[in-house]
Amino acid sequence: MTGAPDVHICEVAARDGLQNLDVFVPTEAKCELIDAIAAAGIREIDAGSFVPPKVVPQFADVDSVMAHALQHKRTATIGALVPNFKGAERAIAAGVGAIYFVISASESHNLANVRRTIEEQLDSFRAVRSALDALPVGGRPRLMGAVATAFGCSIEGPIKEAAVGRVARGFAEAGADEIGLADTVGYGTPGLIKDIVRVARSEVGPQMPLRLHLHDTLGTGLANAVAGLDAGIRSFDAAVSGLGGCPFAPGARGNIVTEDLVFMLERMGLSTGIDLDRLMRTREILSRHIAPRHLTGHLHEAGIPKALRSAA
């Protein structure tokens, strides 16, 4: 992978986008979706989660999906979310290029999500880091620590800056390669985005890569992305057709729409390396299996104006 774009986008539809659906998306459709995402030039794909099927039935086929996704590892980093050390062991065995380990800044959300305290989760993260360090250097997946509910929680409400800083610092001290700040339930606002990024940066230092994972619950998703850009962020998670949500925030809308984000960034003069026309075709794959109410996106509703198409 050469010629790094101005802004890096990780596509999370195959994992975060599908995990809370009430319908099982066939394995073949998941693989087709990942193929289409890779063909559009996406350089990082969150392809699934190594969790027990009884907890998230959508990922009962994660081994098969991941094996297929890894066919694209020469052009894209293929990653997986894990909730614990056992999940990380499965991800390592699968050969993923990135592991996303989640700890919530909200103690209540962390207990509801993974049934562990924040400190217990940090212990598990340290164990994952040790397991990776035991691997040959060239065979180690990148390890990202994701701070969930960094901008608010549907259980606890507003989250104190110190709570976010505590988890971010814990990740950094434990050896994270990157730290993500997640607006898990979509309560963030542009001002809050800047404040939390500033706090996290002060805790982890100038060299630690940071990324934003944004949801669009209150319609502020793209505005928050711009705020992130202003704060120096150049890596974002997004999902085609705005898929996603949080099981602890009923009715919450999904992730920011990848298609809309790419269009906005390119119109701002920032390269993404993504073929927007190809990315738009993922809607056809999704619409065969997912109810229209789950699929959003301004570009899909309005189309790309002909006068702007050459600049998109």
pLDDT in tens, 58-84: 999 999 999 999 999 999 999 999 999
Res 248: pLDDT: 65
In a domain, 205, yes or no: yes
Query: What CA–CA distance (Å, rounded) separates 154 from 168?
Result: 20
pTM above 0.85, yes or no: yes
In a domain, 1, yes or no: no
Q: What average pLDDT does range 226-240 have in this prediction?
A: 98
Q: What average pLDDT does range 95-124 have in this prediction?
A: 95
Query: What CA–CA distance (Å, rounded) separates 160 from 155?
Result: 14
Q: Which residue type sits at 168?
A: A
Res 293: pLDDT: 87
Res 233: pLDDT: 98
Catalytic annotation present for 246 = yes
In this structure, of 110-124, 245-259, 276-290, 293-307, the range with the lowest mean pLDDT score is 245-259
Q: What average pLDDT does range 31-36 have in this prediction?
A: 98
HSE, CB side, 13 Å, CA atoms: give it for residue 217.
Answer: 22
pLDDT category at 251 given cuts 50, 70, 90 is low
In a domain, 115, yes or no: yes
2 has pLDDT over 70: no
In a domain, 111, yes or no: yes
312 has pLDDT over 60: no
275 has pLDDT over 90: yes
Q: What percent of the chain has pLDDT over 90?
A: 87
Q: What average pLDDT does range 42-65 have in this prediction?
A: 96
Res 64: pLDDT: 98
Res 253: pLDDT: 72
CB burial class (10 A; 0-12, 13-18, 19+) of residue 282?
buried
Phi, psi torsion values for 82, nearest 5 degrees: -130, 145
202 has pLDDT over 70: yes
pLDDT category at 14 given cuts 50, 70, 90 is very high
In this structure, of 189-193, 291-295, 304-308, the range with the lowest mean pLDDT score is 304-308
In a domain, 3, yes or no: no
In a domain, 70, yes or no: yes
In a domain, 182, yes or no: yes
Compute CA distances 129 → 122, 132, 141, 170, 293, whole Å: 10, 5, 10, 12, 40
Q: What average pLDDT does range 282-308 have in this prediction?
A: 89
Query: What CA–CA distance (Å, rounded) separates 299 from 208?
Result: 34
Q: Number of structural domains, the chain?
A: 1
307 has pLDDT over 90: no
Maximum CA extent, the chain: 54
Q: Look up the domain containing 119 and give its range.
A: 8-309
Res 3: pLDDT: 77
pLDDT tens per residue, range 123-147: 999 999 999 999 999 889 999 999 9
In a domain, 136, yes or no: yes
Which CATH number belongs to the domain containing residue 23 in this structure?
Answer: 3.20.20.70
86 has pLDDT over 90: yes
> How high is the mean pLDDT of the chain?
94
113 has pLDDT over 90: no
Res 91: pLDDT: 98
> Which H, E and C letters describe the chain, residue by residue?
CCCCCCCEEEECHHHHHCCCCCCCCCHHHHHHHHHHHHHCCCCEEEEEECCCCCCCHHHCCHHHHHHHHHHHCCCCEEEEEECCHHHHHHHHHHCCCEEEEEEECCHHHHHHHHCCCHHHHHHHHHHHHHHHHCCCHHHCCEEEEEEECCCCECCCECCCHHHHHHHHHHHHHCCCCEEEEECCCCCCCHHHHHHHHHHHHHHHCCCCCEEEECECCCCCHHHHHHHHHHCCCCEEEEEHHHCCCCCCCCCCCCECEHHHHHHHHHHCCCCCCCCHHHHHCHHHHHHCCCCHHHCCCHHHHHCCCHHHHCCC
